Amino acid sequence: LKRAKSTGRVEVHHPGEAACARYKLDLETELRRAIDQGDLRLAYQPIVDLAANRLTGFEALARWTHATRGVIDPGEFIPVAEEAGLIVPLGRWALDSALATLAKWDALAGATVPLTMNVNVSAIQLARDDVPGVIAAALATHGIDGSRLTIELTESAIVQDPERTTKALQALKALNVKVAMDDFGTGYSSLSYLRRLPIDSLKIDRSFVSGMLQDRDKVAIVRAVLSLADALGKTTTAEGVETIELSQTLAALGCSHGQGYFYAAPLAADAAREYWQARI
Ligand code: C2E
Ligand code: MG
Ligand code: MG
Ligand code: MG
């Protein structure tokens, strides 16, 4: 706290606050340019059927390698994109790019590759853009059947604007597009939406999965989510499957799918292609 001499007003100074604001502003400008110039990439992480130990598809995850700052995590630039309204063009790009990759793989195989693609859609993107319209156009452009696409939403989308979310999800249903609830169990929304909304699967957050073999409470939560999903007829994907023990335990508990470093980290497009070509 510092009292300004001339005015006598009390001003609050957080050390580093100005530098931090400046950094965010720079990041925003540079992210806008990166999106415009096509500098973002998608990484693809395998999703596996746990019981059959079989690859079923990939989750597309945005990657930004900055010319001077190096790799910037989505955990850092997605919130910046959301604040700056850049999540709409970024989200459109991610949807288009992921479906373009799937179409490229189909062309390469000379047939429809039996793989699905998961794309993350931000709550803010869902509230501000015509997501079903954008998806319908992208599916048509790339000749991809809607049933091969899963949209990953967090609970915040439902809290943000339940009515709009409901309409959007119904429109996605009409396109045969599937909906997964991402980071399930970490949000702040009522469970009643699971009954009301057309949600096909639950992704069990990594915070419950990692370390669950050493933690009775985590196992209890994972079991409860699996039982809830089963009763409601939804499939489940465990995030953060890092070891064979985890994959086996989750399969034994009835979790249908897994994703994590035990199978593979998110891979660049070419490495992802090699991954599925070796397994399909
Ligand atoms: P998410 O959708 O929950 O994605 C899973 C995150 O967990 C990814 O982090 C992935 O790299 C990481 N992960 C996967 N397996 C393991 C594992 O076994 N161990 C550990 N420790 N981590 C694992 P990433 O790529 O840094 O993405 C972070 C978040 O950023 C995503 O979380 C998602 O919410 C958001 N995100 C990424 N790309 C997009 C995008 O295109 N659009 C939107 N709206 N959000 C995105
Ligand atoms: Mg996700
Ligand atoms: Mg997730
Ligand atoms: Mg997560």
- The interface pTM score, or ipTM, of the predicted complex is 0.98
266 lines ligand 1 (CB under 6 A): yes
Q: Is the C-beta atom of 62 inside 6 A of ligand 1?
A: yes
Number of the ligand closest to the Cα of 150: 2
pLDDT tens digits, the chain, 280 residues: what are they? 444 444 445 455 566 888 888 888 999 999 999 999 999 999 999 999 999 999 999 999 999 999 899 999 999 999 999 999 999 999 999 999 999 999 999 999 999 999 999 999 999 999 999 999 999 999 999 999 999 999 999 999 888 888 999 999 999 999 999 999 999 999 988 898 999 999 999 999 999 999 999 999 999 999 999 999 999 999 999 999 999 999 999 999 999 999 999 999 999 999 999 999 999 8
Which residue's CA is the nearest one to ligand 1's atom 33?
120
Query: What pTM does this model have?
Result: 0.94
Q: Cβ neighbours of residue 43 under 8 Å, at least 6 residues apart?
A: 60, 61, 62, 63, 266, 267, 268, 272
Ligand 3 centroid – CA 11 distance (Å): 41
Biggest CA–CA distance in the chain, Å, is: 76
Q: Give Rg (Cα) of the chain.
A: 21
Angstrom CA distances, 50 to 84, 156, 162, stand at: 39, 28, 33
CB-ligand 1 contact for 260 (6 Å cutoff)? yes
